[in-house]
Amino acid sequence: MADKKKAGAFDIRIVIATLVGIYGVVLTVLGIVEKQAEIDKAAGININLWGGLGMLVFTAVFVLWARLRPIAVPVDSKPADE
């Protein structure tokens, strides 16, 4: 790891995933306890539930991406030698 350095101070993907993940949990819970009047307002779609679930899926994808391709850039960008 001598020639690697962390790019910047942190991984923005994790920050984004955390915020969207929290939103996802909040909205999903709201969706589960949703009153019928609110569902009718959104043309019969339980948008809090579906939106929340969609955000949880997004969070999972981002965390997976960050896990599979962690950021580490060479200290100086030398031409590739392969």
Question: According to the binding rule CB under 8 A, does residue 79 interact with another protein?
Answer: yes
Question: According to the binding rule CB under 8 A, does residue 36 interact with another protein?
Answer: no
Question: According to the binding rule CB under 8 A, does residue 7 interact with another protein?
Answer: yes
What are the contacts of 65-73 at 24+ separation with CB within 8 A?
65/13, 66/11, 66/13, 66/14, 66/17, 70/11, 71/6, 71/7, 71/8, 71/11, 72/1, 72/4, 72/5, 72/6, 72/7, 73/4, 73/5, 73/7
Size of the site for another protein (CB under 8 A): 38
Positions touching another protein (CB under 8 A) are: 7-10, 12, 15-16, 18-20, 22-23, 26-27, 30-31, 34, 38-39, 41-45, 47-48, 50-51, 54-55, 58, 71, 73-74, 77-80
